Structure 1
Amino acid sequence: MKCKTAVSHLTDDDLVIRGEKLSSLVAEASFTDAVFLILSGRKPAAKESRLFASILTSIIDHGTGTASALTSRFVASTGNALNASVAAGVLALGEYHGGAIETAMRQLADVKDAKAFVAEALKEKRRIMGFGHKVYKDEDPRVTQLYGIAEEVGYESPYLTLARDIERELAVQKGKKLVLNIDGFIAAALLGMGFPPEVGKGVFIIGRVPGLVAHAVEERQREKPVRRLDEADIEYDGK
């Protein structure tokens, strides 16, 4: 079987990833810089390195109640192996949980004017991905921190400015604040770093897997086998 790839190739004495020897990366690069390299094909600039690392940290976990964490725990509770439990959690990531980054990247990439974009979206009743949150109504604290880090290191991107402009226009035109959430920020940041939308969900998966591992392992260590919903929490409305 023949295959063409620009990702990596094995030589007689090393593995080359995107033109860089793995042995050199082991000695010189952080894990997040290596992730940036293998996904984008280039090493990050210092400003990008700091922000990208913080982005991955910001999505490492978001509580036991998330769909992915609960799924990993339920699957682990039935005696499945760690890889199956974590894979189940990853499969729970969808358009409204972890998968919004890719869609938000595609939307932001096509926006020329925030005011016109919001007006058209509201008129057509089209969902604007990356805005609004079930828990955070005034601001997403993760986004606040990430904007602070971007300012601290001097990282600038027109997409980060655009995301804030859309947030303001939503408040004005909708009459209700929909906060820029972590998906929206990451979408804007990744576009500014040159990542294609197809990578969006992948970045979220990379950041969230450590959290899923922790939940699955804890479930096996601390809980009794086989989780089940309490019948008192289930309302039957059939015949």
Structure 2
Amino acid sequence: MDDWKKKAEDWWETSIIEMSPGVINYRGHPIQELIGNVSFPAMIWLMLRGELPSDAQADLLGHALVAAVDHGPQAPSIAIARMAATCGVGINNAMASAINVLGDVHGGAGEQAVAFYQEIDAMVGGELSRDSVAAALEKRSAIDKYVPGFGHRFHPVDPRAPRLLQLVEEAAAKGVVGGRFATIAQLIEATLAERKGKVIPMNIDGATAVVYAELGFAPPLCRGLFVLSRSVGILAHTWEQMQQGGRNKGPLPRDATWTYSGNRASSAS
């Protein structure tokens, strides 16, 4: 019986949570000591990294999470949440429907950008310069012309990116982060502008990737962090749609039907 009990206890071995009657410890910290003393961004850090961040690190993480909360119903995830809400499902179902479309194309660029910055950093090595980053970018472009984190189909200049970079620069000046990945991102932006003959500005994914890279988060975690951030907007839009009502609202109004491009039956002679 003891062997069976030990096997059962080891089945889901974890260093994240310890729990027994009257005891809840996250990463070794009693929950009652965390409540009221730790911010939500700091709690995310603790759960993912196994240690509490400094207040300045938690603040910078929180800034990135705030920046990506919502982008309106023109974003597929938000539109899907609102459509799902009109189908009579619960709030969790609508949120899950939206979160499930946050993939490589919609929601994954932040992860890709962090990996991209790290790749450029490894290729450059040593001191950063416009020439060294341009050379690394040239090598990468020969393989993949897509540059994650730059350009936006809606915004000529993404208003979120400059503010996040400003906050990273302030954090670097205080020694909270090193600032190397911010420099890499800015040099990439300058190189792209030189090549294209016009500015291809950093977007929200590129800017949050700077924050996450500076804070040392692994690329796959950055997609999860985006999901946490965007879930706030998804929840807000789901709840608003539930208050507005409506039944079975699709992507188009009833009198704006889609363009049919298939065959048509010939009329009877």
Q: Aligning the two structures, in what range does the TM-score lie when normalised by the shorter sequence? A: over 0.9
1:215 maps to 2:233: no
The whole-number CA distance in structure 2 between the counterparts of 1:107 and 1:16 is: 36
What's the CA shift for 1:159? 0.9
Q: Which of 166, 175, 194 in structure 1 is aligned with 2:197? A: 175
**Deviation by residue 1:114-156 (Cα, 9 ceiling, x = unmatched):** 212322243344311111111222x321111112222334344
What's the CA shift for 1:179? 1.1
User: Is the 2:68–2:226 Cα contact (8 Å) retained in structure 1?
Assistant: yes
User: Is the 1:16–1:22 Cα contact (8 Å) retained in structure 2?
Assistant: yes
Identity level (%): 29
User: Is the 1:76–1:82 Cα contact (8 Å) retained in structure 2?
Assistant: yes
Partner of 2:153: 134
- The count of aligned residue pairs is 238
Q: CA RMSD in A?
A: 1.7
The whole-number CA distance in structure 2 between the counterparts of 1:132 and 1:149 is: 21
The whole-number CA distance in structure 2 between the counterparts of 1:88 and 1:42 is: 32
User: Is the 1:14–1:23 Cα contact (8 Å) retained in structure 2?
Assistant: no
Kindly provide the amino acid, as one letter, of the partner of residue 150 in structure 1: V
Which deviates further from its counterpart, 50-59 or 151-160? 151-160
Secondary structure at 1:126 match in 2: coil
Which deviates further from its counterpart, 214-223 or 145-154? 145-154
TM-score for both structures, normalised by structure 1: 0.92
Q: Which of 47, 61, 82 in structure 2 is aligned with 1:52? A: 61
Q: Which of 94, 116, 137 in structure 1 is aligned with 2:135? A: 116
User: Is the 1:157–1:189 Cα contact (8 Å) retained in structure 2?
Assistant: no
The whole-number CA distance in structure 1 between the counterparts of 2:202 and 2:180 is: 15
Q: Which of 1, 18, 26 in structure 2 is aligned with 1:9? A: 18
Kindly provide the amino acid, as one letter, of the partner of residue 246 in structure 2: K
Secondary structure at 2:99 match in 1: helix
What's the CA shift for 1:211? 1.1
TM-score for both structures, normalised by structure 2: 0.83
What's the CA shift for 1:7? 1.5
Structure 1 outlier segments of 4+, above 4 Å: none
Q: Which of 62, 71, 75 in structure 1 is aligned with 2:80? A: 71
Secondary structure at 1:27 match in 2: coil
1:33 maps to 2:42: yes
Which deviates further from its counterpart, 222-231 or 100-109? 222-231
The whole-number CA distance in structure 2 between the counterparts of 1:92 and 1:81 is: 18
Can you give the 5+ residue segments of structure 1 that lack an aligned partner in the other structure? none
The whole-number CA distance in structure 1 between the counterparts of 2:26 and 2:145 is: 40
Kindly provide the amino acid, as one letter, of the partner of residue 79 in structure 2: L
Partner of 1:146: 164
User: Is the 2:168–2:211 Cα contact (8 Å) retained in structure 1?
Assistant: no
1:82 maps to 2:91: yes
Partner of 2:258: 234
Report which of the two structures shows the higher radius of gyration computed on alpha carbons: 2
Can you give the 5+ residue segments of structure 2 that lack an aligned partner in the other structure? 1-7, 125-132, 264-269
